[in-house]
Amino acid sequence: MRIKRPMVVLITCIATLVAGLLVLNFAPGEKKIDTQLTRLYDTDDPQFRRSLGVLLGPPIIEGNKAEVLLNGDKIFPAMLDAIRSAQKSISFETYIYWEGTIGREFTDALSERARAGVKVHVLLDWIGSMKIDDKSLDEMRRAGVEVHRYHKPVWWKLARLNNRTHRKLLIVDGKVGFTGGVGIADKWRGHAQDPEHWRDSHFRVEGPVVGQMQAVFNDNWTKATGAVLDGPAYFPALVAQGDMPAQMFSSSPTGGSESMHLMYLLAITAARHTIHLSNSYFVPDELAVKALVAAAKRGVDVRIITPGPIIDSDIVRAASRERWGELLEAGIKMAEYQPTMYHVKALVVDSLLVSVGSTNFDNRSFILNDEANLNVLDPDFAKQQEAVFEDDWKHARPITLQAWQNRPFMEKIGGKLADLIGAQL
């Protein structure tokens, strides 16, 4: 059948529009780092700290306290207690917020505080919160909670559809902050006791760095709403609560999309003794592989824990394992967590630097998503997180180079195919 010329023009226009949107969504907005970093200093050199706080991110400030919370049984009660104690403001940004028993508890707690006159601001990623019922959102709004969905599909934002907020931030009264890997869903409940309950870590923070956490939340709140949150309800005077130097590090494709990537590369390049990396979606790019291999070759003990066969994305696991050859050949120790899905996102370098938050070790976190990590430079805190790593290692299965080379043929084919879209994982 002959297609009339106007129809050809229309089809061509639609195809061009779709192609243009795909390019805008899947291409990085800024020039990528394309050269391996030169090693200029160790992590204990004052220049390392200056570079973290001047070259890359906000200043590293003194006087903070950070507490690790392991798994939902510890994480959710601490977050809910903070929400229920709020007197002035609650700022809450998360990727996953689903229906379920824990979702109901958060909805009830946020709504109750809003009705009590607390200023409650909730920013949910549109994709990550698709499993929450509109009734729950309406319930919060009726109670006075300001709820917004980040990058909800509308025609003037279609070019940003692939840019999601993956940040996990809760700030109460501008004084207490939480960040880490946990989402608001029932699979995070419990204590990682079975395959239905995930292993994860979250962190409760006090001290001047909480002001930086509030500023990171404000960044996306202003983008989503056009409103600026300011004043003592959000930025009170903060006094020292501990002795940990810390900074709240963030990145976004709309500004500084390579910052998180560069921070990880800088820390790995500066490592002198040890690197303990826990990550739920470990799909390193070429630069990250080179940096890890170079660290191993100069004698750094590099160990990495990833999820095992219990994972919510088989394609991510396939793409990850495809890239392990060069790492294993360099002597890097790899292990897969066995009991349940491993959702931890933590980097500990030289028993000094701890970086924890929402960032996965993949291109999506480094280039496409909005992410936020808490960086702490404290030997005691670092040793505590190394102890957590050691306990996780006991529940992980080491993967040798020989085992990786002898993996089934179909697994190798699947890895090759998954690797083709590795930049989007």
Mind telling me the catalytic residues? Answer: 166, 168, 173, 343, 345, 350
Write the DSSP symbol of residue 130: T
Displacement of CA 11 from its chain's centroid (Å) = 40
> From CA 135, how far away is CA 123, in angstroms rounded?
16
> From CA 286, how far away is CA 278, in angstroms rounded?
19
> From CA 80, how far away is CA 106, in angstroms rounded?
7
Q: Is 146 exposed, middle or buried (0-12, 13-18, 19+ CB in 10 A)?
A: middle
| 363-380 burial: b if 16+ Cβ within 10 Å, else e | bbbbbbbbbbbbbbbbee
Displacement of CA 355 from its chain's centroid (Å) = 10
Phi-psi sector, 166: left (phi>0), alpha (psi -120 to 50), beta: alpha
The alpha carbon dihedral of 180, 185, 191, 195 has a sign of negative
Tally DSSP H helices, then E strands, for the chain: 14, 15
